[in-house]
A and B are shown apart, each in its own frame.
Chain A
């Protein structure tokens, strides 16, 4: 196994573990951002340059910032949760289940003889753009995803907006 891959994998796993096990939620959010960043690096290393850039923009740029915003907006509650001692047995029970699942899959894969890589496939960003807009089914999927994103963002806005009982007719 190559050295860069091992370094990237170690960063991904270490920061992901830190993100799920630290007490302070701000630290958790920052460690998750580091893990997303390292995942983007892995995509770049695997020759998927477009996906690496998308990962940087979507996860590090948007999702991680959204997580940090949520942590800060709900700060009193998260601080109160920090003050309460975490139920450690519950965490370790969860960790036991997860390590069993992850370890079982990983140990099966360790003995699995995967096909050897021939040559790295080349798929440039221009090519991806052409594929997304040229073929009929990809265009349909693109439109559906665009509608999904719009619906999800409007829904998120409605969920997070302050409730106005008296302006909506028939409220309570």
Chain B
């Protein structure tokens, strides 16, 4: 039914989504938006896993990888947002250009 659907389409979509994640990581100064950008980049990677599972390598490995990648991404989001809250508590700011170096 989806003969016209191709691997290339999914891969291009995930490359563009990864690019949008990079925009947030490089261009925004709010730590929360940087984390959202990282989530987009992880999502792009999972889209790649699913696309290759669907079109090129239909064993269960791609699915297992995607599940574990999502689990790790969820843990990362939890720790990252907790860091943002800790940062806010200490500095009253969530802007990454106001974070002092770790050695201080």
Contacts and interface: CB of A to CB of B under 8 A. Distances in A.
Contacts of B89: 162-163
Nearest to B54: A46
B50 A48 contact: yes
Q: Report whether over half of chain A's contact residues are helix, strand or loop; otherwise say mixed.
A: helix
Contacts of B8: 109-110, 112, 114
B74 A62 contact: yes
Contact of B30 (A73, A78, A118): A78
Size range of the chain B interface in the assembly: 35 or more
A121 B6 CA distance: 14
B36 to A, nearest CB: 5
Contacts of B6: 1, 114, 116-117
Interface residues of A, number: 90
Interface string B1-18: 011111111111101111
Interface of A: 1-2, 4-5, 9, 12-13, 16-17, 19-21, 25, 28-29, 32, 35-36, 39, 42-43, 45-48, 50-51, 54-55, 58-59, 62-63, 66-67, 69-71, 73-74, 76-78, 80-81, 86-87, 90-95, 97-99, 101-103, 105-106, 109-110, 112, 114-118, 120-121, 123, 127-128, 131-132, 138, 141, 145, 148-149, 152-153, 155-157, 159-160, 162-163
